[in-house]
Amino acid sequence: MGGRPRGRRSGRGRLVIVALVVLVAWFGVGVRLFQLQIVQAADLKEMGLEQRTRVKVLAAERGTIYDRDGRELAITVQGRTIGADTDQLQQPTQVAELLAVTLGIDQAQVLETLQSGRR
């Protein structure tokens, strides 16, 4: 009954099996890295640019401000502002007519505002 002890031989066998499993796993990681970095690089780059440059308009609504008794101090009111450089207006009457029709207000009021010289 000579020879090597049986426990020592099976220990080496396990070590070889574990080493092979680790080697196969690293090979799989390498293949995946090659696929991502070389094969799919252009597509992934384009997808990344699309995700980073997405434009999304968010409504910036303000909330109501209350005092300590629960009464409203400041509330949100919807409004629009239109500006015109009166020094550069060639035909203020036509501009007033167009703005009046578009905004649904009196043309004389728009013309008066344009001719007042305020910007």
20-54: pLDDT as tens digits: 999 999 999 999 999 999 999 999 999 988 888 77
Residue 58 lies in a domain: no
92-103 helix and 107-115 helix, angle to the nearest 10 degrees: 130
Q: Are residues 16 and 48 in the same domain?
A: yes
pLDDT tens per residue, range 1-20: 555 555 556 788 899 999 99
Sequence-distant (6+) residues with CB within 8 A of 107 are 96, 97, 100
Q: Are residues 31 and 71 in the same domain?
A: no
92 in Cβ contact with 86 (< 8 Å): yes
Lookup: tokens for 118: 């305020």
Q: Are residues 111 and 71 in the same domain?
A: yes
Question: What range defines the domain where residue 106 resides?
Answer: 65-115
Residue with tokens 């799989």: 28
Q: Domain count of the chain?
A: 2
86 in Cβ contact with 114 (< 8 Å): yes
0.95 exceeded by pTM: no
